[in-house]
Amino acid sequence: MAEVTLVEVAPRDGIQNEPTILDRAMKQALIGKLVAAGLRRIEVTSFVNPKRVPQMAGAGDLVSALRDDPAMAVAKPSLSALALNLRGAREAIAAGVDEVTYVVVASETFNQRNQGVPIAETLAQWRDVRAAAREAGCMTSLTIAAAFGCPFEGEVDPGRPAAIAAELAAADALPDEIALADTIGVAAPGDVTTRFALLREALPDLPLRAHFHNTRNTGLANAVTAIASGVTALDASVGGFGGCPFAPAATGNVPSEDLTYMLQRMGHLGGIDLDALIATGNWLGEQLGKQPPALLGRAGTFPGNLGKAA
């Protein structure tokens, strides 16, 4: 079975919209638990306006603290940060991330509302982001958000992500990895197959990543379909927390523990301690004062929980 990498996004997408603000020590503890559970790619924060996303305040201090954390020095996870513009990307690079994830939204209205500029301007800034990141030795990934549907414009043309990718290829501005995000959780497996096939046609060799939300219960079905479409990295959020502040109905990233259970059973994923991941999702729920949407924490592993059932 193809090896798949789980990219943990709880410290960013998972908590960004939660009203309970976690302090730096708490965020560092969360990331420490994720690394201890075996995760090696973690989106630790985003460099955005803290007035718009208060949970992400102090992003630079968090990254610096992680850089000084002995546990990180041993496990050497790849720490990424999300940026919506050149300024944010420069701050992330200066703070010392391993990877910069930049975002362009597939629909004009949503890009304008999320980034404050038109798509053309976002893509123009991307070229500078890419150059700055490469100069600093950072990996770059570009996420096409709302690639499966937009909360303002509705359906998104299936060829739209591939068209953006082709535009980047023509400008010699490809990232190291490209991701399609179902930001508001509307995709079904057929949508996944179509979009990734067109994207693969446009970019035969580029590593592909997918970011699904379980808003309409299709998250894991989309994940398994994405793997069949050649995707090699999948975003997930421990506990299944998360959403998007600009898409109010969008709650629930794919829960890392549920995705791990499925992928481990299929032989796609190794090196993760599922019990530690479940414990981390439950711990995060306690910090946020909410029951995690993840189901593994309620049902238990299998056949590990036989004693309980019998």
Residues known to be catalytic? 244
190 touches a copy of itself by CB under 8 A: yes
Is residue 161 a contact partner of residue 121, using CB atoms and an 8 Å limit? no
215 touches a copy of itself by CB under 8 A: yes
Figure out which of the listed residues 176, 216, 273, 276 binds a copy of itself, where binding follows CB under 8 A.
216
**Beta-bridge partner residues of 177:** 141
- Reduced to 3 states (helix: H, G, I; strand: E, B; else coil), residue 41 is strand
154 touches a copy of itself by CB under 8 A: yes
Least distance between a copy of itself and beta carbon 47 (Å): 26
Stretch of 21-29, 56-64, 130-138, 180-188 contacting a copy of itself, by CB under 8 A: 180-188
Q: CB nearer to a copy of itself: give 137 or 303.
A: 303
Handedness of CA 216, 219, 221, 225 (dihedral sign): positive
DSSP for 173-233 reads ---SEEEEE-TTS---HHHHHHHHHHHHHH-SSS-EEEE-B-TTS-HHHHHHHHHHTT--E
Stretch of 6-14, 51-59, 167-175, 259-267 contacting a copy of itself, by CB under 8 A: 259-267
Determine the angle formed by the axes of helices 59-67 and 86-95, rounding to 10 degrees.
30
- Reduced to 3 states (helix: H, G, I; strand: E, B; else coil), residue 40 is coil
With left for phi above 0 and alpha for psi between -120 and 50, is residue 186 left, alpha or beta? alpha
Q: CB nearer to a copy of itself: give 279 or 295.
A: 295
Figure out which of the listed residues 255, 281, 285, 292 binds a copy of itself, where binding follows CB under 8 A.
255
309 touches a copy of itself by CB under 8 A: yes
Least distance between a copy of itself and beta carbon 255 (Å): 7
Q: CB nearer to a copy of itself: give 11 or 219.
A: 219
- Kindly state the tokens that stand for 260: 């791990």
- The C-alpha angle 291, 143, 169, rounded to 5 degrees, equals 165
Q: Which residue has the tokens 């123009």?
A: 124
Tell me, by CB under 8 A, how many residues bind a copy of itself: 51
Least distance between a copy of itself and beta carbon 236 (Å): 11
Backbone angles phi, psi at 97, to 5 degrees: -70, 160
- The C-alpha angle 99, 53, 131, rounded to 5 degrees, equals 30
175 touches a copy of itself by CB under 8 A: no
Q: Which residue has the tokens 């991307």?
A: 126
**Beta-bridge partner residues of 243:** 251
Figure out which of the listed residues 94, 166, 174, 188 binds a copy of itself, where binding follows CB under 8 A.
188
247 touches a copy of itself by CB under 8 A: yes
Least distance between a copy of itself and beta carbon 158 (Å): 12
Which H or E run includes 14?
Answer: none
Q: CB nearer to a copy of itself: give 50 or 271.
A: 271
184 touches a copy of itself by CB under 8 A: yes
Figure out which of the listed residues 54, 118, 230, 248 binds a copy of itself, where binding follows CB under 8 A.
248
Is residue 139 a contact partner of residue 78, using CB atoms and an 8 Å limit? yes
Binding site for a copy of itself (CB under 8 A): 1, 149, 151-152, 154-155, 184-186, 188-191, 214-221, 223-225, 247-252, 255, 258, 261-263, 265-267, 294-296, 298-300, 302-303, 305-306, 308-310
